[in-house]
Amino acid sequence: MSSREKILVAMSGGVDSSVAALQLQRQGCTIVGAYMKNWINEDNVIGHCPWMQDIDDARAVCDTLGIEFRVVNLMRDYQERVVTYLLDGYARGLTPNPDIMCNREMKFGVFRAWARAEGFAAVATGHYARRVAHADGTCDLLEGADKNKDQSYFLTLLSQEQLQDARFPIGDLPKPELRRLAREAGLPTADKKDSQGICFIGEVKMADFLRAYVPDAPGPIVQATDGRELGRHRGLHFYTLGQRKGIGVPSNTDHKAYVVVGKRAADRALLVAFDHPDSPGLFQHEVRVHSLSWISRPVTTGRALEGRVRYRDPRVPLEFIPESESTALIQFPTPQRGLAAGQILAFYEGEKLLGGGIYL
Protein backbone atom coordinates (compact mmCIF):
# COMPACT_ATOMS: atom_id res chain seq x y z
CA MET A 1 0.00 0.00 0.00
CA SER A 2 1.09 3.56 -0.57
CA SER A 3 2.30 5.48 2.48
CA ARG A 4 0.41 8.47 1.07
CA GLU A 5 -2.93 6.73 1.44
CA LYS A 6 -5.43 8.27 3.81
CA ILE A 7 -6.95 5.32 5.67
CA LEU A 8 -9.85 5.07 8.09
CA VAL A 9 -9.19 2.42 10.74
CA ALA A 10 -12.23 0.64 12.22
CA MET A 11 -11.42 0.75 15.93
CA SER A 12 -13.39 -1.76 18.00
CA GLY A 13 -11.68 -0.98 21.28
CA GLY A 14 -9.74 -4.25 21.12
CA VAL A 15 -6.05 -4.97 20.73
CA ASP A 16 -6.24 -6.23 17.13
CA SER A 17 -7.62 -3.02 15.65
CA SER A 18 -5.30 -1.03 17.92
CA VAL A 19 -2.22 -2.71 16.45
CA ALA A 20 -3.70 -2.36 12.95
CA ALA A 21 -3.62 1.41 13.48
CA LEU A 22 -0.12 1.21 14.96
CA GLN A 23 1.20 -0.73 11.97
CA LEU A 24 -0.27 1.70 9.44
CA GLN A 25 1.12 4.66 11.32
CA ARG A 26 4.59 3.10 11.33
CA GLN A 27 4.28 2.57 7.58
CA GLY A 28 3.77 6.30 7.16
CA CYS A 29 0.09 6.25 6.23
CA THR A 30 -2.22 9.09 7.14
CA ILE A 31 -4.76 7.49 9.45
CA VAL A 32 -7.85 8.34 11.46
CA GLY A 33 -9.48 5.98 13.95
CA ALA A 34 -13.23 5.52 14.00
CA TYR A 35 -15.59 3.50 16.19
CA MET A 36 -18.65 2.06 14.43
CA LYS A 37 -21.55 2.73 16.79
CA ASN A 38 -23.90 -0.07 15.78
CA TRP A 39 -25.61 -1.05 19.01
CA ILE A 40 -26.04 0.48 22.46
CA ASN A 41 -28.17 -2.17 24.20
CA GLU A 42 -30.99 0.35 24.49
CA ASP A 43 -33.55 -2.46 24.72
CA ASN A 44 -31.76 -3.91 27.75
CA VAL A 45 -30.85 -7.19 26.11
CA ILE A 46 -29.50 -9.55 28.73
CA GLY A 47 -25.73 -9.72 28.50
CA HIS A 48 -22.70 -7.50 28.71
CA CYS A 49 -22.65 -4.90 25.93
CA PRO A 50 -19.66 -2.67 26.78
CA TRP A 51 -19.96 -0.14 23.97
CA MET A 52 -19.12 2.84 26.18
CA GLN A 53 -15.96 1.14 27.48
CA ASP A 54 -15.01 0.13 23.93
CA ILE A 55 -15.33 3.74 22.75
CA ASP A 56 -13.21 4.92 25.68
CA ASP A 57 -10.56 2.28 24.90
CA ALA A 58 -10.52 3.11 21.20
CA ARG A 59 -10.19 6.83 21.96
CA ALA A 60 -7.37 6.12 24.43
CA VAL A 61 -5.47 4.18 21.77
CA CYS A 62 -5.88 7.04 19.28
CA ASP A 63 -4.69 9.51 21.92
CA THR A 64 -1.62 7.34 22.53
CA LEU A 65 -0.90 7.26 18.80
CA GLY A 66 -1.63 10.96 18.42
CA ILE A 67 -4.29 10.50 15.76
CA GLU A 68 -7.81 11.81 15.30
CA PHE A 69 -10.68 9.71 16.64
CA ARG A 70 -14.28 9.73 15.45
CA VAL A 71 -17.49 7.92 16.40
CA VAL A 72 -19.63 7.01 13.39
CA ASN A 73 -23.29 6.33 14.17
CA LEU A 74 -24.50 3.47 11.98
CA MET A 75 -27.22 2.13 14.26
CA ARG A 76 -30.05 2.45 11.76
CA ASP A 77 -28.10 0.69 9.01
CA TYR A 78 -27.01 -2.05 11.41
CA GLN A 79 -30.61 -2.67 12.42
CA GLU A 80 -31.74 -2.87 8.80
CA ARG A 81 -28.83 -4.84 7.35
CA VAL A 82 -27.66 -7.15 10.14
CA VAL A 83 -30.17 -7.40 12.98
CA THR A 84 -33.15 -7.86 10.64
CA TYR A 85 -31.23 -10.50 8.67
CA LEU A 86 -30.29 -12.27 11.90
CA LEU A 87 -33.74 -12.30 13.48
CA ASP A 88 -35.56 -13.15 10.25
CA GLY A 89 -33.20 -16.06 9.63
CA TYR A 90 -33.63 -17.57 13.07
CA ALA A 91 -37.40 -17.05 12.95
CA ARG A 92 -37.45 -19.11 9.72
CA GLY A 93 -35.45 -21.94 11.26
CA LEU A 94 -32.12 -20.97 9.69
CA THR A 95 -28.71 -20.44 11.32
CA PRO A 96 -27.47 -17.10 9.94
CA ASN A 97 -23.96 -15.70 10.43
CA PRO A 98 -24.14 -12.06 11.61
CA ASP A 99 -20.34 -11.62 11.61
CA ILE A 100 -20.01 -12.40 7.90
CA MET A 101 -22.98 -10.19 7.08
CA CYS A 102 -21.60 -7.39 9.26
CA ASN A 103 -18.36 -7.41 7.29
CA ARG A 104 -20.09 -7.31 3.92
CA GLU A 105 -22.90 -4.90 4.76
CA MET A 106 -21.36 -2.71 7.45
CA LYS A 107 -17.56 -2.55 7.70
CA PHE A 108 -16.95 -2.82 3.97
CA GLY A 109 -20.41 -1.61 2.98
CA VAL A 110 -21.93 1.37 4.79
CA PHE A 111 -18.75 2.23 6.73
CA ARG A 112 -16.64 2.02 3.57
CA ALA A 113 -19.08 4.29 1.72
CA TRP A 114 -18.95 6.80 4.59
CA ALA A 115 -15.15 6.67 4.52
CA ARG A 116 -14.97 7.32 0.79
CA ALA A 117 -17.37 10.26 1.14
CA GLU A 118 -15.04 11.67 3.81
CA GLY A 119 -12.03 11.46 1.50
CA PHE A 120 -10.45 8.19 2.69
CA ALA A 121 -8.90 5.84 0.15
CA ALA A 122 -9.41 2.66 2.17
CA VAL A 123 -10.78 1.10 5.35
CA ALA A 124 -8.52 -0.95 7.63
CA THR A 125 -9.64 -3.55 10.18
CA GLY A 126 -7.99 -5.87 12.67
CA HIS A 127 -8.79 -9.06 10.77
CA TYR A 128 -6.25 -11.87 10.64
CA ALA A 129 -6.25 -12.08 6.85
CA ARG A 130 -3.91 -11.01 4.04
CA ARG A 131 -4.70 -8.98 0.95
CA VAL A 132 -2.47 -9.35 -2.10
CA ALA A 133 -2.70 -6.61 -4.75
CA HIS A 134 -1.75 -7.34 -8.36
CA ALA A 135 -0.41 -5.07 -11.09
CA ASP A 136 -3.77 -5.01 -12.88
CA GLY A 137 -5.49 -3.58 -9.79
CA THR A 138 -7.21 -6.79 -8.73
CA CYS A 139 -6.69 -8.34 -5.30
CA ASP A 140 -6.66 -11.78 -3.74
CA LEU A 141 -7.55 -12.60 -0.15
CA LEU A 142 -5.41 -15.11 1.74
CA GLU A 143 -5.71 -16.72 5.13
CA GLY A 144 -3.97 -14.99 8.00
CA ALA A 145 -0.41 -16.08 8.70
CA ASP A 146 -1.42 -17.18 12.22
CA LYS A 147 -3.56 -20.24 11.44
CA ASN A 148 -4.87 -20.33 15.00
CA LYS A 149 -6.34 -16.85 14.53
CA ASP A 150 -7.15 -16.84 10.79
CA GLN A 151 -10.36 -14.87 10.13
CA SER A 152 -10.58 -15.08 6.34
CA TYR A 153 -13.78 -17.12 6.73
CA PHE A 154 -15.57 -14.02 8.05
CA LEU A 155 -14.69 -12.16 4.83
CA THR A 156 -16.19 -14.83 2.56
CA LEU A 157 -18.90 -12.66 1.01
CA LEU A 158 -16.79 -9.62 0.16
CA SER A 159 -16.73 -8.43 -3.45
CA GLN A 160 -13.64 -7.56 -5.45
CA GLU A 161 -14.48 -3.85 -5.16
CA GLN A 162 -14.77 -4.10 -1.39
CA LEU A 163 -11.47 -5.98 -1.14
CA GLN A 164 -9.68 -3.34 -3.21
CA ASP A 165 -10.64 -0.75 -0.58
CA ALA A 166 -9.76 -3.02 2.37
CA ARG A 167 -6.54 -3.15 4.36
CA PHE A 168 -5.56 -5.85 6.87
CA PRO A 169 -2.39 -4.59 8.57
CA ILE A 170 -2.07 -7.45 11.10
CA GLY A 171 -2.59 -10.35 8.69
CA ASP A 172 1.08 -11.33 8.78
CA LEU A 173 1.38 -11.24 12.57
CA PRO A 174 1.05 -14.11 15.03
CA LYS A 175 -1.07 -13.16 18.03
CA PRO A 176 1.76 -13.28 20.62
CA GLU A 177 3.82 -10.92 18.44
CA LEU A 178 0.84 -8.59 18.14
CA ARG A 179 0.45 -8.46 21.91
CA ARG A 180 4.18 -7.74 22.25
CA LEU A 181 3.99 -4.84 19.78
CA ALA A 182 1.01 -3.41 21.66
CA ARG A 183 2.83 -3.55 24.99
CA GLU A 184 6.02 -2.02 23.62
CA ALA A 185 4.02 0.83 22.09
CA GLY A 186 2.22 1.42 25.39
CA LEU A 187 -1.23 0.83 23.91
CA PRO A 188 -3.88 0.73 26.67
CA THR A 189 -5.56 -2.30 25.05
CA ALA A 190 -2.38 -4.42 25.00
CA ASP A 191 -3.71 -6.91 27.55
CA LYS A 192 -7.43 -6.50 26.94
CA LYS A 193 -9.29 -9.79 26.56
CA ASP A 194 -10.55 -10.62 23.07
CA SER A 195 -14.28 -10.15 22.51
CA GLN A 196 -16.36 -13.25 21.79
CA GLY A 197 -19.70 -11.59 21.17
CA ILE A 198 -21.80 -10.74 18.14
CA CYS A 199 -20.09 -8.48 15.60
CA PHE A 200 -19.66 -5.00 17.11
CA ILE A 201 -22.30 -5.64 19.79
CA GLY A 202 -20.20 -7.13 22.56
CA GLU A 203 -20.42 -10.00 25.00
CA VAL A 204 -24.07 -10.80 24.28
CA LYS A 205 -24.96 -14.48 24.07
CA MET A 206 -26.96 -15.37 20.98
CA ALA A 207 -29.61 -17.19 23.03
CA ASP A 208 -30.17 -14.08 25.15
CA PHE A 209 -30.37 -11.90 22.06
CA LEU A 210 -32.93 -14.20 20.43
CA ARG A 211 -34.94 -14.53 23.62
CA ALA A 212 -35.40 -10.76 23.68
CA TYR A 213 -36.52 -10.36 20.07
CA VAL A 214 -38.02 -13.63 18.77
CA PRO A 215 -41.23 -14.82 20.45
CA ASP A 216 -41.23 -18.30 21.97
CA ALA A 217 -42.75 -20.97 19.73
CA PRO A 218 -42.82 -24.16 21.80
CA GLY A 219 -42.89 -27.63 20.35
CA PRO A 220 -41.93 -31.25 21.05
CA ILE A 221 -38.44 -32.69 21.23
CA VAL A 222 -38.71 -35.90 19.20
CA GLN A 223 -36.37 -38.86 18.83
CA ALA A 224 -35.76 -39.00 15.08
CA THR A 225 -35.37 -42.79 14.91
CA ASP A 226 -38.64 -43.85 16.54
CA GLY A 227 -40.77 -40.70 16.88
CA ARG A 228 -40.93 -40.76 20.68
CA GLU A 229 -41.46 -37.40 22.38
CA LEU A 230 -38.64 -36.79 24.85
CA GLY A 231 -39.56 -33.34 26.07
CA ARG A 232 -40.53 -29.81 25.05
CA HIS A 233 -38.55 -26.85 23.77
CA ARG A 234 -39.19 -23.07 23.78
CA GLY A 235 -38.51 -22.46 20.10
CA LEU A 236 -36.62 -23.98 17.17
CA HIS A 237 -34.64 -20.75 16.79
CA PHE A 238 -32.63 -21.64 19.90
CA TYR A 239 -31.13 -24.70 18.22
CA THR A 240 -28.93 -25.54 15.28
CA LEU A 241 -28.05 -28.76 13.49
CA GLY A 242 -25.29 -30.64 15.29
CA GLN A 243 -25.88 -28.90 18.64
CA ARG A 244 -25.11 -31.09 21.65
CA LYS A 245 -25.36 -28.80 24.67
CA GLY A 246 -28.44 -27.12 26.04
CA ILE A 247 -30.99 -29.33 24.28
CA GLY A 248 -32.89 -30.00 27.49
CA VAL A 249 -32.97 -33.78 27.20
CA PRO A 250 -30.76 -35.79 29.54
CA SER A 251 -28.54 -38.61 28.33
CA ASN A 252 -30.15 -42.05 28.23
CA THR A 253 -29.39 -44.88 30.63
CA ASP A 254 -26.30 -45.79 28.59
CA HIS A 255 -25.05 -42.21 29.04
CA LYS A 256 -25.35 -41.53 25.32
CA ALA A 257 -25.76 -37.83 24.57
CA TYR A 258 -28.40 -36.48 22.23
CA VAL A 259 -27.66 -34.14 19.33
CA VAL A 260 -29.92 -32.02 17.10
CA VAL A 261 -30.36 -33.70 13.70
CA GLY A 262 -33.24 -31.70 12.23
CA LYS A 263 -36.23 -29.39 12.58
CA ARG A 264 -39.79 -30.20 11.44
CA ALA A 265 -41.72 -27.07 10.65
CA ALA A 266 -45.19 -28.68 10.47
CA ASP A 267 -45.41 -29.27 14.23
CA ARG A 268 -42.33 -27.29 15.31
CA ALA A 269 -40.62 -30.52 16.32
CA LEU A 270 -36.95 -30.53 17.27
CA LEU A 271 -35.49 -33.81 16.02
CA VAL A 272 -32.72 -35.39 18.07
CA ALA A 273 -30.72 -38.59 17.96
CA PHE A 274 -27.68 -40.04 19.64
CA ASP A 275 -24.42 -38.35 18.71
CA HIS A 276 -23.17 -41.03 16.34
CA PRO A 277 -21.94 -41.01 12.71
CA ASP A 278 -24.92 -43.15 11.71
CA SER A 279 -27.52 -40.81 13.21
CA PRO A 280 -29.96 -39.71 10.47
CA GLY A 281 -29.35 -36.20 9.16
CA LEU A 282 -26.27 -35.47 11.26
CA PHE A 283 -23.59 -36.13 8.62
CA GLN A 284 -23.88 -35.17 4.96
CA HIS A 285 -21.98 -36.31 1.88
CA GLU A 286 -23.51 -33.55 -0.22
CA VAL A 287 -25.28 -30.24 0.23
CA ARG A 288 -26.60 -27.46 -1.97
CA VAL A 289 -25.62 -23.82 -1.58
CA HIS A 290 -27.26 -20.67 -2.92
CA SER A 291 -26.40 -16.97 -3.22
CA LEU A 292 -22.93 -17.78 -4.53
CA SER A 293 -20.50 -14.89 -4.10
CA TRP A 294 -17.02 -14.67 -5.62
CA ILE A 295 -14.17 -12.39 -4.62
CA SER A 296 -12.61 -12.45 -8.06
CA ARG A 297 -13.28 -14.74 -11.01
CA PRO A 298 -16.42 -16.91 -10.60
CA VAL A 299 -16.05 -20.67 -10.70
CA THR A 300 -18.39 -21.72 -13.51
CA THR A 301 -17.38 -25.33 -14.17
CA GLY A 302 -17.23 -28.40 -11.98
CA ARG A 303 -13.91 -28.75 -10.21
CA ALA A 304 -12.19 -29.87 -7.05
CA LEU A 305 -11.83 -27.17 -4.39
CA GLU A 306 -11.39 -26.97 -0.65
CA GLY A 307 -13.99 -25.64 1.73
CA ARG A 308 -14.31 -24.44 5.29
CA VAL A 309 -17.72 -25.62 6.42
CA ARG A 310 -17.70 -23.27 9.44
CA TYR A 311 -15.28 -21.03 11.30
CA ARG A 312 -12.51 -22.90 13.15
CA ASP A 313 -12.97 -26.03 11.05
CA PRO A 314 -10.03 -27.04 8.86
CA ARG A 315 -10.28 -26.82 5.08
CA VAL A 316 -11.66 -30.04 3.58
CA PRO A 317 -11.70 -31.34 -0.02
CA LEU A 318 -14.94 -30.98 -1.97
CA GLU A 319 -16.29 -31.22 -5.49
CA PHE A 320 -17.95 -28.03 -6.70
CA ILE A 321 -20.73 -28.68 -9.26
CA PRO A 322 -22.47 -25.49 -10.47
CA GLU A 323 -26.19 -25.73 -11.19
CA SER A 324 -26.80 -22.06 -12.03
CA GLU A 325 -25.07 -18.71 -11.57
CA SER A 326 -26.21 -18.61 -7.96
CA THR A 327 -26.49 -22.27 -6.87
CA ALA A 328 -24.26 -25.31 -6.74
CA LEU A 329 -24.16 -28.90 -5.54
CA ILE A 330 -21.29 -29.65 -3.17
CA GLN A 331 -20.02 -33.19 -2.68
CA PHE A 332 -17.68 -34.14 0.16
CA PRO A 333 -15.46 -37.25 -0.04
CA THR A 334 -15.62 -37.31 3.76
CA PRO A 335 -19.09 -36.65 5.24
CA GLN A 336 -19.38 -33.37 7.16
CA ARG A 337 -21.17 -32.92 10.46
CA GLY A 338 -24.02 -30.52 11.17
CA LEU A 339 -24.30 -28.42 8.00
CA ALA A 340 -27.17 -26.14 8.98
CA ALA A 341 -29.30 -24.18 6.51
CA GLY A 342 -28.32 -20.51 6.56
CA GLN A 343 -24.70 -21.08 7.50
CA ILE A 344 -21.85 -20.16 5.15
CA LEU A 345 -19.56 -22.49 3.18
CA ALA A 346 -16.28 -20.80 2.18
CA PHE A 347 -14.37 -21.98 -0.91
CA TYR A 348 -10.58 -22.03 -0.98
CA GLU A 349 -7.78 -22.84 -3.38
CA GLY A 350 -4.92 -23.45 -0.97
CA GLU A 351 -4.68 -20.38 1.25
CA LYS A 352 -6.62 -18.22 -1.21
CA LEU A 353 -10.26 -17.52 -0.39
CA LEU A 354 -12.35 -17.69 -3.57
CA GLY A 355 -15.80 -16.89 -2.22
CA GLY A 356 -18.69 -18.76 -0.68
CA GLY A 357 -22.34 -19.71 -0.59
CA ILE A 358 -25.16 -20.28 1.87
CA TYR A 359 -26.39 -23.76 2.78
CA LEU A 360 -29.91 -24.52 1.57
CATH of the domain at 253: 2.30.30.280
Whether 66 maps to a domain, the answer reads yes
Active site (catalytic) residues: 102, 199
The highest-confidence range among 189-193, 274-278, 352-356, by mean pLDDT, is 352-356
Same domain, residue pair 135 and 79:
yes
Q: Is the pLDDT of residue 47 over 60?
A: no
d(CA 298, CA 306): 15
Same domain, residue pair 181 and 244:
no
d(CA 158, CA 335): 28
Q: Is the pLDDT of residue 196 over 80?
A: no
Question: What is the pLDDT averaged over residues 157-162?
Answer: 98
Q: Is the pLDDT of residue 3 over 70?
A: no
Q: What is the pLDDT of residue 115?
A: 98
Whether 161 maps to a domain, the answer reads yes
Q: What is the mean pLDDT of the chain?
A: 92
Same domain, residue pair 348 and 331:
yes
d(CA 115, CA 117): 5
Evaluate whether 19 touches 181 at the Cβ level (below 8 Å): yes
Last residue of a domain, one of 274, 296, 314: 274
Q: What is the pLDDT of residues 207-240, one digit of tens each?
A: 888 888 888 999 999 999 999 999 999 999 999 9
Q: How many domains does the chain have?
A: 3
Q: What is the pLDDT of residue 122?
A: 98
DSSP 154: G
Q: What is the pLDDT of residues 82-111, one digit of tens each?
A: 999 999 999 888 999 999 999 999 999 999
| Residue 197 φ/ψ, nearest 5 degrees | -90, -170
Same domain, residue pair 126 and 220:
no
CA angle 197, 201, 207 (to 5 degrees): 55
Q: What is the pLDDT of residue 249?
A: 87
Whether 85 maps to a domain, the answer reads yes
Evaluate whether 202 touches 51 at the Cβ level (below 8 Å): yes
Same domain, residue pair 130 and 270:
no
Same domain, residue pair 19 and 108:
yes
Whether 338 maps to a domain, the answer reads yes
CA neighbor of 128 nearest in space, from 102, 156, 157, 154: 154
Whether 117 maps to a domain, the answer reads yes
Tell me the CATH number at 331: 2.40.30.10
Whether 178 maps to a domain, the answer reads yes
Same domain, residue pair 47 and 188:
yes
- The pLDDT confidence band at residue 45, using thresholds 50, 70 and 90, is low
Q: What is the pLDDT of residues 306-344, one digit of tens each?
A: 999 999 999 999 999 999 999 999 999 999 999 999 999
Range of the domain at 345: 283-359
Same domain, residue pair 112 and 40:
yes
Whether 1 maps to a domain, the answer reads no
Q: Is the pLDDT of residue 252 over 70?
A: no
Question: What is the pLDDT averaged over residues 65-80?
Answer: 96
Q: What is the pTM of this model?
A: 0.92
Same domain, residue pair 74 and 189:
yes
CB count, 10 Å around CB of 247? 19
Q: What is the pLDDT of residues 10-22, one digit of tens each?
A: 999 999 999 999 9
Tell me the CATH number at 57: 3.40.50.620
